[in-house]
Amino acid sequence: MAESISFEEAKQRVEELTDQLNEYSYQYYVLDNPTISDSEYDTLYQELVGLEETYPRLVQSDSPTQRVGGPALAGFEKVTHDQQMLSLDNAFSLDELKAFDERIKRLTNHSFHYICELKIDGLAISLRYENGKYIQAATRGDGTTGENVTPNVRAIKAVPLKLQEPVNLEARGEIYMPKASFKKLNEERDESGEAVFANPRNAAAGTLRNLDPKITAQRNLNIFLYSLPVIEGETIDAQSEALNRMEQLGLKTNPEKKIFQSIEEVWDFIKEIQEKRNDLAYEIDGVVIKVDELSVQDEIGYTVKAPRWAIAYKFPAEEAKTTIRGIEWSVGRTGTVTPTAVMDPVHLAGTTVQRASLHNVDLIKEKDIRLNDKVFIHKAGDIIPEVIRVDFSERPAESSPYPIPTHCPACNSELVHLEDEVALRCMNPKCPAQAAEKLVHFVSRNAMNIDGFGEKLALQVYEKELVQDVADIYGLTKEQLMQLDKIAEKSAAKLVEAVEDSKKQSLERLLFGLGIRHVGSKAARILAERFETMENLQTASKEELIAIEGLGDTIAESILAFFELEEAQQLIRKLQAYNLNMAYTGPKFSEEKAEDTFFNGKTIVLTGKLEHFSRPELKERLILLGAKVTGSVSTKTDILIAGEDAGSKMKKAQELAIHIMNEEELLDELDRKG
Please check whether residues 260 and 165 belong to one and the same domain.
Answer: yes
Cβ atoms of 181 and 201 within 8 Å: the answer is no
541-555 core/surface letters (b: 16 or more CB in 10 A; e: else): eeeebeebeebeeeb
* 574 Cα distance to chain centroid: 37
Please check whether residues 172 and 249 belong to one and the same domain.
Answer: yes
Grade residue 19 by pLDDT with cuts at 50, 70 and 90: confident
Burial degree of 559 (CB within 10 A; 0-12, 13-18, 19+):
buried
Any idea what the Cα angle at residue 184 is, between residues 179 and 187, rounded to 5°?
Answer: 125
Residue 223: give the domain boundaries.
90-314
Any idea what the Cα angle at residue 219 is, between residues 214 and 224, rounded to 5°?
Answer: 110
Please report whether residue 487 resides in a domain: yes
- Taking 90 as the threshold, does the pLDDT of residue 218 lie above it? no
- Taking 70 as the threshold, does the pLDDT of residue 309 lie above it? yes
H or E segment to which residue 148 belongs = none
Coil vs helix vs strand at 307 = strand
Please check whether residues 131 and 251 belong to one and the same domain.
Answer: yes
What span, in angstroms and rounded, lies between the C-alpha atoms of 153 and 159? 7
The reported pLDDT for the residue numbered 68 is 64
Please check whether residues 232 and 170 belong to one and the same domain.
Answer: yes
Ranked by mean pLDDT, the top range of 5-9, 117-121, 663-667 is 117-121
Coil vs helix vs strand at 261 = coil
- Taking 70 as the threshold, does the pLDDT of residue 672 lie above it? no
- Taking 80 as the threshold, does the pLDDT of residue 4 lie above it? no
Please check whether residues 596 and 570 belong to one and the same domain.
Answer: no
Please report whether residue 297 resides in a domain: yes
Last residue of a domain, one of 577, 610, 626: 577
pTM of the model: 0.56
Please report whether residue 147 resides in a domain: yes
- Residue 630, domain CATH: 3.40.50.10190
- Taking 60 as the threshold, does the pLDDT of residue 591 lie above it? no
Query: In percent, how much of the chain has pLDDT > 90?
Result: 42
The reported pLDDT for the residue numbered 529 is 85
| Residue 150: closest CA among 164, 163, 132, 133 | 133
For the residues 257-278, what does the mean pLDDT come to? Answer: 94
The reported pLDDT for the residue numbered 626 is 80
Amino acid in position 283: E
How many C-beta neighbours within 10 Å does residue 335 have?
A: 28
pLDDT in tens, 82-105: 888 988 988 989 999 999 999 999
pLDDT in tens, 325-336: 999 998 876 788
366-396 core/surface letters (b: 16 or more CB in 10 A; e: else): eeebbbebbbebbbbbbbbbbbeebeeeeee
DSSP label at residue 282: S
Please report whether residue 417 resides in a domain: no
Least confident of 60-74, 268-282, 513-527: 60-74
* 322 Cα distance to chain centroid: 34
Please report whether residue 402 resides in a domain: no
Please check whether residues 214 and 117 belong to one and the same domain.
Answer: yes
Please report whether residue 423 resides in a domain: no
Query: In percent, how much of the chain has pLDDT > 70?
Result: 92
- Taking 90 as the threshold, does the pLDDT of residue 570 lie above it? yes
- Residue 501, domain CATH: 1.10.150.20
- Residue 41, domain CATH: 1.10.287.610
For the residues 361-390, what does the mean pLDDT come to? Answer: 83
CA distances to 195, 244, 285, 355, 357 from 340, rounded to whole Å, are 16, 46, 27, 7, 5
What's phi and psi for 174, nearest 5 deg?
A: -130, 125
pLDDT in tens, 418-453: 666 777 888 887 787 778 778 888 998 878 989 888
Amino acid in position 276: K
What span, in angstroms and rounded, lies between the C-alpha atoms of 344 and 600? 66
Please check whether residues 334 and 297 belong to one and the same domain.
Answer: no
The reported pLDDT for the residue numbered 645 is 75
Grade residue 400 by pLDDT with cuts at 50, 70 and 90: very high
Question: Alpha helices of 404-541 — where are they, by DSSP H?
Answer: 435-443, 455-463, 478-481, 489-501, 507-513, 521-531, 534-538
What's phi and psi for 113, nearest 5 deg?
A: -125, 160
Grade residue 235 by pLDDT with cuts at 50, 70 and 90: very high
Any idea what the Cα angle at residue 607 is, between residues 603 and 610, rounded to 5°?
Answer: 115
CA distances to 412, 523, 648 from 516, rounded to whole Å, are 19, 11, 38
For the residues 625-637, what does the mean pLDDT come to? Answer: 81
11, 98, 119, 503: which is the annotated catalytic residue? 119
What span, in angstroms and rounded, lies between the C-alpha atoms of 196 and 357? 11
Please check whether residues 203 and 103 belong to one and the same domain.
Answer: yes
* Mean of pLDDT over the chain: 86
- Residue 340, domain CATH: 2.40.50.140
H or E segment to which residue 150 belongs = helix 150-154
- Taking 60 as the threshold, does the pLDDT of residue 589 lie above it? no
Q: What stretches of 332-437 adopt beta strand conformation (E)?
A: 336-348, 351-357, 374-380, 384-390, 415-416, 424-426
119 is catalytic: yes
Please check whether residues 292 and 240 belong to one and the same domain.
Answer: yes
Non-local (6+) Cβ contacts of 222 within 8 A are 29, 156, 158, 175, 176, 177, 178, 252, 282
- Taking 70 as the threshold, does the pLDDT of residue 593 lie above it? no
What span, in angstroms and rounded, lies between the C-alpha atoms of 36 and 47? 16
- Taking 90 as the threshold, does the pLDDT of residue 385 lie above it? no
Please report whether residue 584 resides in a domain: no
pLDDT in tens, 478-491: 999 998 888 889 99
Please check whether residues 597 and 554 belong to one and the same domain.
Answer: no
Number of domains comprising the chain: 5
| Torsion 33-35-38-41 (CA) sign | negative
Cβ atoms of 668 and 651 within 8 Å: the answer is no
Least confident of 133-142, 231-240, 375-384: 375-384
Any idea what the Cα angle at residue 60 is, between residues 57 and 63, rounded to 5°?
Answer: 130
Please report whether residue 267 resides in a domain: yes
What span, in angstroms and rounded, lies between the C-alpha atoms of 485 and 216? 39
- Residue 184, domain CATH: 3.30.470.30
Q: Is 40 left (phi over 0), alpha (psi -120 to 50) or beta?
A: alpha
The reported pLDDT for the residue numbered 595 is 59
The sheet carrying 222-231 orders its strands as: 133-139, 123-130, 169-176, 222-231
What span, in angstroms and rounded, lies between the C-alpha atoms of 35 and 18? 16
How many C-beta neighbours within 10 Å does residue 129 have?
A: 24
The reported pLDDT for the residue numbered 674 is 44
Please check whether residues 355 and 386 belong to one and the same domain.
Answer: yes
The reported pLDDT for the residue numbered 71 is 54
Coil vs helix vs strand at 36 = coil
What span, in angstroms and rounded, lies between the C-alpha atoms of 508 and 522? 9
Last residue of a domain, one of 260, 280, 314: 314
Please check whether residues 465 and 512 belong to one and the same domain.
Answer: yes
The reported pLDDT for the residue numbered 174 is 96
What span, in angstroms and rounded, lies between the C-alpha atoms of 402 and 365? 8
Last residue of a domain, one of 553, 577, 601: 577
